[in-house]
């Protein structure tokens, strides 16, 4: 059994940091859901809009649910750290003569429920004048009636929530320094859980950013399609190709509509090309949002063991799930003798070599993630031998 050297005040302070993180994260999730609900029904009811909404809505619901899991993981770490601190304080007090009454069990933070919101399927932007005169030649294609402004509102909400979730996680940074200096059997598991939640929170924030980009890109796709169709139909009206459209407009719809089959087919062909581009963009977006939803579900699975833990104390042998913690070397990296230790980034211990390459400590695997001086991931490496253990991952970023 390892010697015990624990300052209960350090654990209490760490618990307080996680309480603050839960408060920030809980507020962010509530505001996110409120904004998503305020901007609901904006993706469109046309075929492309429905396909996009089906994929996005599923990913959005999963992402908000996982963000709420992160919120509760912050709360659970508060509860467990506070309980562990009380346990050590009572153990120390028991050794005094006479021993004082034991400290009471600390209160647990309330559970945060996943907020509800409506999905993005729906739309009511009007088709341009003259649209109805060419619909017979559109081969089932529909006006993309999504609302770009509301879609950008969704994107802004996701982006803000990502920033707040990172801020919540960064609120816990100071908790690490003191705990890493303590010695007790349960503390490696404490650090493993803290590290796992830190990584999970930043990964969820990354998924929020992806959803923000998806909303913005869909807004741009619809807006550009609207303008292209308006230009095509408008040009035809001005040129007199759809003569009846203007007459009907000024005679309350009783003017003669003069659109021949050949002319209508030509105009519709140009419009169909635009709408086919919208459908292709939707298909690409579906792949992105499906992957985002799957990633969110995976993160939620990672935090479940912690969420199910009992807030009494950390148990070194039973409470860990799949998370592990390997402290960073205090000096250099034997496998990279030219690398010198520098300033941490987002709590990541870092080294830099004479070529500007960056080495970040991966505490989950006890390895270093190597990046070029431009931030390109070059792979995972053994810190002692310098051997590469995993290939480059183009999605990895320094400090994440």
- How open is the CA angle 290-124-260, to the nearest 5 degrees? 105
Residue 133: per-residue pLDDT: 79
Contact 83, 91 (CB under 8 A): no
Whether the per-residue pLDDT at 114 is higher than 80: the answer is yes
Report the b/e string of 134-151 with b at 16+ CB within 10 A: bbebbeebbbbbbbbebb
Summarised one tens digit per residue, pLDDT across range 25-78 is 999 999 999 999 999 999 999 999 999 999 999 999 999 999 999 999 999 999
Contact present, 286 and 52 (Cβ < 8 Å): yes
Closest CA to 208 of 272, 159, 242, 253: 159
Would you say 44 and 161 are in contact if contact means Cβ atoms under 8 Å apart? no
Residue-level pLDDT at 264: 59
pLDDT of 85-105, one tens digit each?
A: 988 888 888 777 778 888 888
Mean pLDDT of 281-308: 91
- Contact, 114 vs 25, CB < 8 A? no
- In the 8-state DSSP scheme, what is residue 131? G
Residue 1's pLDDT band (boundaries 50, 70, 90)?
Answer: very low
Hey, which residues does 370 pair with through a beta bridge?
359, 379
Q: What is the pLDDT of residue 130?
A: 79
Q: Express each pLDDT in 115-172 by its tens digit.
A: 999 999 999 999 988 788 788 888 889 999 999 999 999 999 999 999 999 999 999 9
Residue 16, classed as helix, strand or coil, is helix
Please report the DSSP string for 43-68 in residue order. SBSSHHHHHHHHHHHHHHHHHHHHHH
pLDDT in tens, 221-253: 999 999 999 888 877 765 555 544 444 333 333
Which pLDDT belongs to residue 248? 38
Look up the pTM and report it.
0.84
């Amino acid at each position: 059994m390892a010697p015990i050297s624990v300052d209960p005040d350090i654990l209490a302070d760490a618990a307080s940091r996680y309480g603050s993180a839960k408060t920030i994260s809980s507020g962010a999730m509530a505001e996110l859901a409120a904004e998503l609900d305020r901007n609901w029904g904006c993706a469109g009811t046309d075929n492309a809009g429905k396909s996009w909404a089906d994929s996005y809505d599923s990913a959005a619901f999963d992402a908000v649910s996982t963000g709420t899991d992160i919120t509760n993981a912050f709360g659970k770490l508060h509860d467990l750290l506070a309980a562990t601190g009380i346990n050590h304080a009572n153990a120390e007090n028991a050794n005094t003569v006479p021993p004082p009454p034991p400290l009471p069990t600390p209160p647990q933070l309330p559970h945060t429920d996943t907020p509800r919101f409506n999905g993005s399927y729906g739309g009511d932007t009007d088709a341009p004048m003259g649209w109805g005169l060419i619909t017979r030649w559109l081969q089932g294609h529909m006006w993309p009636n999504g609302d770009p402004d509301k879609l950008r509102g969704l994107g802004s909400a996701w982006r803000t929530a990502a920033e707040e979730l990172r801020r919540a996680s960064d609120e816990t940074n100071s908790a690490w320094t003191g705990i890493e200096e303590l010695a007790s059997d349960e503390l490696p598991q404490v650090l493993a859980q803290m590290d796992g939640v830190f990584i999970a929170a930043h990964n969820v924030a990354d998924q929020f950013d992806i959803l923000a980009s998806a909303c913005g890109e869909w807004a741009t796709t619809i807006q550009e399609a609207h303008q292209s169709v308006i230009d095509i139909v408008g040009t035809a009206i001005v040129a007199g190709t759809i003569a009846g459209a203007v007459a009907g407009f000024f005679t309350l719809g009783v003017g003669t509509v003069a659109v021949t089959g050949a002319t209508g087919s030509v105009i519709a062909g140009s419009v169909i090309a635009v709408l086919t581009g919208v459908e292709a963009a939707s298909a690409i977006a579906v792949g992105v949002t499906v992957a985002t939803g799957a990633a969110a579900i995976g993160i939620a699975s990672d935090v479940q063991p912690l969420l199910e833990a009992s807030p009494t104390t950390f148990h070194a042998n039973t409470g860990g799930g799949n998370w592990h913690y390997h402290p960073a070397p205090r000096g250099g990296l034997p496998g990279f003798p030219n690398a010198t230790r520098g300033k941490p980034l987002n709590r990541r211990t870092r080294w830099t070599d004479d070529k500007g390459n960056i080495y970040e400590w991966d505490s989950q695997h006890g390895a270093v993630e190597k990046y070029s001086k431009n931030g390109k991931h070059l792979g995972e490496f053994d810190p002692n031998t310098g051997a590469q253990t995993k290939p480059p991952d183009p999605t990895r970023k320094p400090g994440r």
